[in-house]
């Protein structure tokens, strides 16, 4: 056993650059693991600045001075942020409140539909089984209702935190754009001089990482906006709320769109029942997902390294368990990073 471990060490860790790369990855992982949640706002600013930097570079390519390019891009970002905070979020919040107010009626309607099952299928299910099921579910519904009410008491400090977040975030983004070279030089000063292997891995990942982040943000916006227009045109209640869920669901490959079907189908059923409108909404959502998977995704992610679906699912589960929403968002770039490290390892 010792000889096997010794041979493995000599094969993979005798190169000094390999040791530097391994230590760099280990320190980075530990730093993110212990401080990732605390520095979530910094990472959010870094991602947004990374996306805006791409736009700044495009304007610089048109022979515009960097200061003017930053001003134009940053003003556009602030405009979108203000529109989101003062229009979209209040609209979504109103729909959430309205949905909570209608929940008792939905639950009552759901119970009535369950009680009809023994009438239509007496050989499969009895009235006593339905009553037992309702009695089992009622405490769970009461529990979740109490949790919703308890969360309402934390809205004031939560709102204050959001206000602070939206003040600090634009400031961090501005300084990341303005002092890009200074920050980059400062970060590189902590790395060893002999970092060829690290640079090789970074060069392989950088383009794919940028394409993925920009493409995923664009996919969320396109799918969310198109869903909102489609559902509002069909007259579905809570169209903005459901469209937001559908847009965010594309962050989780394969699983997200399936999960997003549940609230869509539930709201459509309580609004129309098993009618043609319900059928039209579900079919329209299916067509939208088909266009997203077969047209939009190949266009947006044409430069991203192909990963096996099983590897993507495992990456989503693993990194999502470590870092929550951020882990899910960066699961594919992190999987690409792991693949690049394996390919570049001496």
Residue ranges, the chain, pLDDT below 70: 1-18, 119, 130, 133-135, 137-164, 302-306, 344-346
Q: Which of 135, 162, 190 is the last residue of a domain?
A: 190
Question: Are residues 174 and 234 both part of a single domain?
Answer: no
pLDDT value at residue 157? 53
pLDDT of residue 249: 87
Residue 230: count other Cβ atoms within 10 Å of its Cβ: 18
**Residues 157, 204: one domain?**
no
Identify whether the C-beta of residue 20 lies closer than 8 Å to the C-beta of residue 192: yes
The pLDDT of residue 142: 58
Average pLDDT, the chain: 78
267 domain residue, yes or no: yes
Q: Are residues 145 and 66 in the same domain?
A: yes
Q: Mark whether 330 and 224 lie in a shared domain.
A: yes
Evaluate whether residue 27 is within a structural domain: no
Is residue 2 a part of any domain in this protein? Answer: no
pLDDT value of residue 148: 55
User: What's the pLDDT at 191?
Assistant: 73
Residue 60 belongs to domain spanning: 36-190
**Rounded-to-integer distance, Cα 148 and Cα 42, Å:** 29
Residues 181 and 289 in one domain: no
Boundary-marking domain end, from 190, 223, 258 = 190
Residue 250 lies in a domain: yes
The Cα-based distances of 64 to 74, 181, 299 in angstroms read: 15, 18, 28
The total number of structural domains in the chain stands at: 2
Same domain for 58 and 167, yes or no, is: yes
pLDDT, position 97: 80
**What's the whole-model pTM score?**
0.72
326 and 204 belong to one structural domain: yes
Q: Which of 174, 190, 206 is the last residue of a domain?
A: 190
Task: Match 């979209």 to its residue by tokens.
Answer: 88
Residue 77 lies in a domain: yes
The reply to whether 65 and 144 lie within a common domain is yes
All residues at 6 or more sequence positions from 253 whose CB lies less than 8 Å from its CB, including other chains: 309, 312, 313, 316, 332
Contacts of 126 (CB under 8 A, 6+ apart): 118
């Amino acid at each position: 056993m010792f000889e096997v471990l010794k041979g493995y060490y000599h094969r993979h860790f005798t190169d000094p650059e390999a040791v530097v790369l391994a230590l760099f990855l280990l320190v980075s992982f530990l730093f993110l693991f212990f401080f990732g949640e605390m520095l979530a706002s910094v990472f959010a600013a870094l991602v947004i600045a990374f996306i805006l930097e791409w736009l700044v570079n495009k304007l610089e390519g048109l022979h515009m001075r960097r200061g003017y390019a930053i001003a134009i891009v940053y003003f556009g970002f602030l405009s979108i942020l203000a529109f989101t905070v003062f229009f979209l979020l209040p609209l979504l919040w109103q729909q959430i409140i309205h949905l909570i107010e209608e929940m008792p009626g939905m639950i009552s309607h759901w119970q009535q539909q369950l009680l009809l099952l023994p009438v239509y299928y007496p050989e499969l299910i009895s009235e006593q089984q339905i009553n037992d099921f309702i009695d089992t579910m009622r405490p769970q519904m009461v529990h979740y209702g109490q949790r919703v009410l308890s969360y309402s008491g934390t809205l004031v400090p939560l709102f204050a935190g959001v206000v602070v977040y939206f003040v600090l975030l634009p400031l961090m983004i501005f300084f990341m754009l303005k002092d890009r070279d200074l920050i980059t030089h400062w970060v590189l000063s902590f790395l060893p001089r002999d970092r060829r292997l690290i640079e090789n891995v970074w060069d392989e990942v950088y383009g794919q990482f940028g394409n993925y982040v920009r493409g995923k943000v664009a996919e969320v916006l396109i799918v969310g906006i198109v869903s909102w227009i489609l559902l509002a045109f069909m007259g579905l209640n809570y169209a903005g709320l459901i469209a937001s869920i559908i847009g965010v669901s594309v962050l989780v490959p394969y699983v997200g769109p399936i999960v997003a079907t549940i609230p869509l189908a539930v709201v459509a059923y309580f609004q129309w029942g098993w009618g043609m409108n319900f059928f039209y909404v579900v079919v329209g959502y299916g067509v939208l997902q088909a266009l997203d998977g077969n047209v939009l995704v190949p266009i947006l992610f044409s430069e991203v390294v192909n990963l096996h679906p099983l590897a993507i699912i495992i990456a989503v589960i693993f990194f999502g368990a470590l870092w929550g929403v951020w882990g899910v968002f960066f699961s594919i770039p992190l999987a690409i990073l792991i693949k690049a490290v394996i390919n570049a390892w001496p």
